[in-house]
Amino acid sequence: MKGCFLNIKQTRRPKVLCYILLLCQLITPFAPAYSKALKVRLKDIVTFEGIRENQLIGYGLVVGLKGTGDSLKDSPYALETMMSMLERLGVNVRDKEKDMKSKNVAAVMVTASLPPFARHGTRIDVTVSAIGTAKDLLGGTLLVTPLVGADGEVYAVSQGPLVTGGFSADGKSGSSVTKGVPTSGRIANGAIVEKEVPFELSSLNEVRLSLRNPDFTTARRISEVINAFVKYPSAKALDPSTVDLTIPVSYKKDVASFLTSIERLEVVPDNPARVVIDEQNGVIVMGKEVRISTVAVSHGNLTIRIAETPQVSQPNPFSNSGSTQVVDRSSVSVEEGDQKLTVLEEGATLQELVDSLNALGVSPRDMITILRSIKAAGALHAEIEVI
């Protein structure tokens, strides 16, 4: 303030201007934090109810394998499927089923996702997975397989050559090499849609937006952004995961255009403080909102090493007595890591927490234990989710 008044005295500016300049200096440090807030499109954080995929499933037969298919003796369903298919083609093999020893056939399950608004004749990808004793589906061809939905109706039919992401090779001596999962493959554009899911978008009077990550604050911000765009209170947050949107009168005949404009709006999502832990792989993911109260953390390791070094004891040269013996020799060493202590101040941020734990030389698995201990002490203000 002193410097400001000196400047005013020299230039003879009014005091009010000095206070305005000072206020701007106080506000400026906070402006970048708001401008750096991550804005995302609505289409990336919400889904429109009714506009969704539908799961399809079917049972089929893969042929053309090079001796890596099902053993018909151990897979009766594969044998029955093959005989039924041959009968439909006019080949009767019911009396010779005991003589069928082909290993070039595999029974499989076929799955696919029917996208929204998929029209008659549209092609979709399918995934093929072996369910029997088949070892490899490389080079196989899927025969005509109907794909049904949850209601039992056939919505698509699939057929075509498989592409697997792995392979398997066996040697005569028992050695083998396997890469990836050779018993599963995909067929790009391998199914044709035969039945459409009825849904009339133009007849909607309202649409509900479902948040992928439910949150009260985010739902309210979405409704505010939409209302500011249409200049009419047409959006209302019903709960943390649902925003009800009424179609404006001006868009009644062009709902698709309205939804296109809505999904491109940007909003700043609010995420809860959460720490996600994957103990199996030692992975830790922490949100930026995680805060730590004043707490002291120490980390020390005790390592015990035991080494076995057998030695050979032999009798003296030209000795007529004694024999060569193996004598066990063990060495035990104990190493204790330096006991280090670090203090996290009140309101420590995520970066400060990571820097402090890294300074202690903490591994990811030890960090999991430390985070749980901090949470148990009541100093970690975040939700811990273990996956």
* Identity of the residue numbered 315: P
DSSP, res 44: G
pLDDT in tens, 235-246: 999 999 999 999
**In this structure, what token pair is assigned to residue 211?**
């948040």
Q: How far is CA 298 from the centre of its chain?
A: 33
pLDDT at 308: 55
What pLDDT does residue 300 have? Answer: 61
Cβ contact 299:356 at 8 Å: no
Rounded CA separation 326/115 (Å) = 71
* Helix residue spans in the chain (DSSP H): 2-11, 15-27, 31-35, 76-88, 216-230, 255-263, 350-359, 364-376
As given in the structure block, the two tokens for residue 12 are 């003879």
Residue in 125, 77, 114 with CA at minimum distance from that of residue 196: 114
Q: What is the pLDDT of residue 319?
A: 66
| One-letter-per-residue 3-state SS of 137-201 | CCCCEEEEEEEECCCCCEEEEEEEECEECCEEEECCCCCEEEECCCCEEEEEEEEEECCCCCCCH
Residue 62 CB contacts under 8 Å (≥ 6 apart), including other chains: 69, 105, 106, 107, 108, 128, 130, 134, 137, 140, 141, 142, 143, 162
CB neighbour class for 250 (10 Å; exposed up to 12, middle 13-18, buried from 19): exposed
Closest residue by Cα to residue 82 from 181, 230, 71: 71
pLDDT at 63: 92
| pLDDT at residue 70, rounded to an integer | 86
**Sequence-distant (≥ 6) Cβ neighbours of residue 377 within 8 angstroms:** 295
CB 223 within 8 A of CB 236: yes
pLDDT of residue 7: 43
For residue 325, give the amino acid letter: Q
The residue ranges of every structural domain in the chain are: 54-193, 201-267, 274-312+325-386
In this prediction, residue 3 carries a pLDDT of 41
Which residues of the chain have a pLDDT value below 50? 1-13, 15-35, 302, 304, 334
Using CA atoms, how far apart are residues 187 and 149, in angstroms rounded to an integer? 19
Question: What does the radius of gyration of the chain's CA atoms come to, in whole angstroms?
Answer: 35
Q: Residue 86's pLDDT is what?
A: 82
CB-based contacts of 189: which residues, under 8 Å, 6+ apart? 123, 124, 125
pTM: 0.62
d(CA 120, CA 54): 15
Pairing of strands 330-336, 235-239: unpaired
Would you tell me how many other CB atoms lie within 10 Å of the CB of residue 310? 9
